[in-house]
Amino acid sequence: MSGIQTKKLTRVYTLGKVQVTALDGVDFSVEEGEFIAVTGASGSGKSTLLNLLGGLDTPTAGVIEVMGRRISTMDKEELARYRRFTVGMIFQAFNLVTARTALENVELPLIFAGVSKKERRVRAAGLLEKVGLSGRRSHRPFELSGGEQQRVAIARALVNGPRVLLADEPTGNLDSRTAGEVVRLLAGLQRDQGLTVVMVSHEQALAREYAGRIISLMDGRVQSDGVTP
Amino acid sequence: MRISDLADLSAANLWKRKLRTFLTVSGVAVGIGALVSMISFGKGMQENVTKNFRELALFNSVTVFPGSSRLEGHDPDVPSSRPGTRALPSDPVLDDEAVRSIAAIKGVEWVYPDINFPALVGFNGKEELRLVQVIPAKALASGMFKLLCGRAFATDEENSALVSPSFLRTLGFKEPREALGRSLKISSLALDIGRFDLSALSELRGLPISREDHEFTVAGVTQDSGFGGPNPFQNDIIIPSGAAAEIKRLPFNSVWDLFRMSERKGGGYSALNVRLVSPAHIGAVKDKARGMGFATFALADQFSEIQRGFIYLDMVLAAVGMIAIFVASLGIVNTMVMSILERFREIGVMKAVGAGDRDIKTIFFFESFSIGLIGGALGCGLGWGVSGLINQVVNFFLAKQGVPYMKYFAFPLWIFMGAVGFSVMVSLVAGIYPARRAAKVDPVIALRHD
């Protein structure tokens, strides 16, 4: 079954009087439980693609279907529910809330899902343990290393039990050893839980090592789409 | 989202910027405090006047005037230039016969004529020109007249006088009690036909008037009315009616009375004070008195107009308080907009993990609500405290002038509840723009924001 499918996906930004085409008729599909990497030079449209798949942005034209649901026509509240329950996202800059502890950051999506405080604590603590940070739950982001922060972000992305994990340059701010650990963690989640993982990365070596397929973008178009050796 | 989570998020965000939260909440508290003080002052005044009306039995008092053509509702204390408000020569005279007739009307408890005359009052080695008021002993005993110290008249015939605290102060008394039992001389002016000298009168060298001295003993000191109500003691010197009858005096108090004398036939009183058994008789007594050819005036009829006046006063006072609230609401808008700028990226993160526009809006609204609720509650305390302090200070200074202790501010529960409700409402209105702006934040841009 197709986990993610796009048809003629187009996103055009208007910057002043200039129109910039970030994505230009992108067609691709990802099977459920697949781990794919999206690569490409800076400005090729990788992050735009991920934001569209994550429901943070809406396409100018084209269709996006995730887990059988057409998200390209959803209104704002439907997109919020989609982000809450269907997808989890992690970012290069981790995007943790600095005033909240690791545990509270992991709890954050559950607040918007209306989960009780007691249940939130249990679920968040369980996920922190899963990513190897049970001893760091009371630490604030600035008290954690980059790798630890990204693992907190992964725990947060998974706390509502999504079926798709979208990672936007998750290793961009990490050293190579930590980057390897983080991608291994993502690959493990895909393997053990059957998560569909889409990872945007410019690190070809990591992509080739862990992703089953690599889609390469150039100037907003799919340049290549192939299975890794 | 659960309300408990909204409260937690709101508390955490406000606590994160303690100083700014404190300043914003203080602004709201000052505004609400000002509003509470203003409204409670208006309410206090209203309660004092109503209490005064009740204590002075003004709800069951009627004043009767000569002249049936006097317009209803006209204030008899203010000479009017309107045509038709003066007694006409054909109107019946308000004399002792009229007093007896009105006293016989069903529902009338007692009647006494309104008598004032100018006199030189000699007391404590000084002489002062004062109007002397005549009040019968029975009326004084009715409870509507209050004394600071001493006693009222036991009989109408005793040569006792009541004096006002302000009169005593003028004469250098520091303690009103010191005046009790001391002798007071009332010198009136009387027409003396024996001295009538037409040639002297034509050259304006003198009038046929002689001076009469009468000795009185100070029996009591009257109590000044507090701020906010009429005082039944119109003058500084009060004497009983029997003793007053012995004093020869000119039948006028001012040049105004001289003009009016030509319109009245055979003298008579300027007014009668009528006390009723209960307010229920006001209509019937007024009708009967009018039927006799007299005009009437009842302050009770004016009470609804006085109450309307208090509504206007409340509106003016509330408007002043509103200005403070308006300034405070600008502070809330400023705080919330600053909060959006500081939490721009956080808003993006919240949206990325599943918060909808409505959730973001609710979070910001709840913060505005919290500022309004806390500021409103503190403002009530502030308004209550400051009003209490002002009340003490005002009473401290007025006590020196013999004014009894009064509560100038009234705090019914609805003032506090209304103030907190209003504070919350203003805060929510102030939060509309920031909440909408926060909800519109584009998560893609916010997540890239440094």
Considering only CB atoms, which chain A residues are within 8 Å of B358?
77
- Are B349 and B399 members of one domain? yes
Considering only CB atoms, which chain A residues are within 8 Å of B15?
none
The answer to whether the CB of B325 falls within 8 A of the CB of B32 is yes
**Nearest by CB to A156, which of B345, B353, B355?**
B353
Domains in chain A, CATH or no CATH each: 2-86+162-227 (3.40.50.300), 101-160 (no CATH)
Give the model's pLDDT for residue B210: 74
Q: Is A74 an 8 Å CB contact of chain B?
A: no
- Are B116 and B213 members of one domain? yes
Considering only CB atoms, which chain A residues are within 8 Å of B353?
83-84, 89, 108-109, 112, 156-157
Q: Stretch A116-131: mean pLDDT, rounded?
A: 92
d(CA A90, CA A112): 18
Element housing B109 (H / E): strand B108-113
- Are B229 and B89 members of one domain? yes
Domain finish residue from B295, B322, B349: B295
- Are B16 and B137 members of one domain? no
- Are B330 and B435 members of one domain? yes
The pLDDT mean for chain A works out to 90
Q: Environment class of residue B75 by beta-carbon count within 10 Å: exposed (0-12), middle (13-18) or buried (19+)?
A: exposed
CB contact under 8 A, B356 and A77: yes
Give the model's pLDDT for residue B17: 86
- Closest by CA to A213, choosing from A44, A87, A39, A25, is A39
CB contact under 8 A, B348 and A95: yes
- Are B64 and B46 members of one domain? no
DSSP conformational letter for B205 = S
The answer to whether the CB of B443 falls within 8 A of the CB of B356 is no
Considering only CB atoms, which chain B residues are within 8 Å of A111?
1-2, 5, 9
Considering only CB atoms, which chain A residues are within 8 Å of B5?
111, 117
CB contact under 8 A, A83 and B358: no
- Closest by CA to A94, choosing from A156, A165, A139, A184, is A156
- Are B238 and B360 members of one domain? no
CB contact under 8 A, A80 and B447: no
pLDDT, tens digit (0-9, with 9 covering 90-100), for B371-396: 999 999 999 999 999 999 999 999 89
For testing contact with chain B, the best of A111, A116, A173 (most B CBs within 10 A):
A111
Q: Is B109 an 8 Å CB contact of chain A?
A: no
Q: Environment class of residue A163 by beta-carbon count within 10 Å: exposed (0-12), middle (13-18) or buried (19+)?
A: middle
Give the model's pLDDT for residue B69: 46
- Are B256 and B316 members of one domain? no
Q: Is A120 an 8 Å CB contact of chain B?
A: no
The reply to whether B300 falls in a domain is no
Residue of A nearest to B1 (CA): A114
Helix axes B357-399, B344-352, angle to 10 degrees: 140
Please give the residue range of the domain that contains residue B154: 59-295
In the predicted model, is pLDDT for residue A161 greater than 60? yes
Q: Is A56 an 8 Å CB contact of chain B?
A: yes
For the whole model, what pTM was predicted?
0.72
- Are B192 and B69 members of one domain? yes
- Are B173 and B84 members of one domain? yes
The total domain count for chain B is: 2
CB contact under 8 A, A111 and B16: no
| Phi and psi torsions of B62, nearest 5° | -135, 140
- Identify the bridge partners of residue A31 per DSSP, sorted by sequence position: A2
d(CA B268, CA A9): 106
**Nearest by CB to A111, which of B5, B345, B444?**
B5
* B333: Cβ contacts below 8 Å, ≥ 6 apart: B430, B431, B433, B434
Residues of chain B with pLDDT under 50: 69-85, 87, 228
| Phi and psi torsions of B123, nearest 5° | -155, 135
The reply to whether B374 falls in a domain is yes
- Are B236 and B126 members of one domain? yes
Residue with tokens 């862990």: A210
CB contact under 8 A, A112 and B1: yes
The reply to whether B147 falls in a domain is yes
pLDDT, tens digit (0-9, with 9 covering 90-100), for A38-95: 998 888 899 999 999 999 999 999 999 999 899 999 999 999 999 999 999 999 889 9
The reply to whether B301 falls in a domain is no
| Phi and psi torsions of A98, nearest 5° | -65, -30
pLDDT, tens digit (0-9, with 9 covering 90-100), for A208-222: 888 889 999 999 898
